[in-house]
Amino acid sequence: MSRAPLAFVSHGAPTVALENDAYHAALRAFGASAPAPRAIAVVSAHWLTHGAVAVTGARRHRVIHDFAGFPAELYRLDYAAPGDPALAEEAVRLLAAAGLPAGVDPDRGLDHGAWVPLRIAWPAAIVPVVQLSLPADEEPAALHSLGRALAPLRERGVLILGSGGLVHNLGQLRWGEKDRAPDPWAAAFDAWMAARLAAGDVEALLRYRERAPHAVRAAPTTEHLDPLFVALGAAAPAERAATIFEGFRYGSLGMRSIELREAA
């Protein structure tokens, strides 16, 4: 079996699930063009744990509407993808073998950082899914190690997906101006990250808070950028970032999404 795809998506506001725009089309095209995975393992910015990593073990998923104040239609959306308890146990074993405490959570559903992009890219909800929690307050290098521990899953047909946001500062958004041109500081940070991703400069990326322009403003809390480092850790040495989508919403909500793959 060939190595399964690997991606990081910026999932944006929950309302992207209701929109039919260029971002929606790009994610749908990625899901349609990527080799069909045996299963998907997703790490989202919206499930943080301290200590052990948790992995969903349900046989059938429910969605969590973990947001408020949005249109009623959004709360009626579902994504009843099958789970994969055997894959959950396998992920726990891989993490434990790497010295990373982990355990199965049999009850938790999929948060919107997981089900929204999955629902766009794989709308049929037939591919089994497991979600892994994101260790809170970890440095990028530790998250990179977590991704490296999960990398063997790709050789077994499991697509690994990090879901967060490349630029994510809710206090800076211009709500009501979805198509506003990006603020210069947000564009500068996005461009710096994109250049290092294209070059495969993992060392610089792991030290982005010291090196990237406007890093603290772009990620005042790190949980939306952290899934990127998990994805980078699961990449093979020759794999580089290829753009799935690039752009902004509301002036500074970075929507850059990438696939990590070997150059053609």
Q: Which residues on neighbouring strands pair with residue 259, listed in sequence order?
A: 7, 242
Decide if 165 is inside a domain.
yes
Decide if 92 is inside a domain.
yes
Q: What is the pLDDT of residues 231-259, one digit of tens each?
A: 999 999 999 999 999 999 999 999 999 99
Instruction: Tally the domains of the chain.
Output: 1
Decide if 1 is inside a domain.
no
Query: What's the pLDDT band for 217 if we cut at 50, 70, 90?
Result: very high
The overall average pLDDT reported for the chain is 96
Q: What is the pLDDT of residues 108-136, one digit of tens each?
A: 999 999 999 999 999 999 999 999 999 99
Dihedral sign (CA 175, 178, 179, 182): positive
Q: For strands 39-49 and 129-135, give the pairing.
A: parallel
CATH classification of the domain holding 119: 3.40.830.10
Decide if 138 is inside a domain.
yes
Decide if 229 is inside a domain.
yes
Decide if 240 is inside a domain.
yes
Range of the domain at 13: 6-262
CA distances from 151 to 85, 101, 128, 157 (A): 18, 17, 18, 11
Residue 241: its H or E element: strand 239-245
Decide if 207 is inside a domain.
yes
In the numeric block, the tokens 């690994």 are attached to 160
Q: What is the average pLDDT across 60-68?
A: 94
Number of helices followed by number of strands (H, E) in the chain: 10, 10
So what's the pLDDT on residue 84? Answer: 98
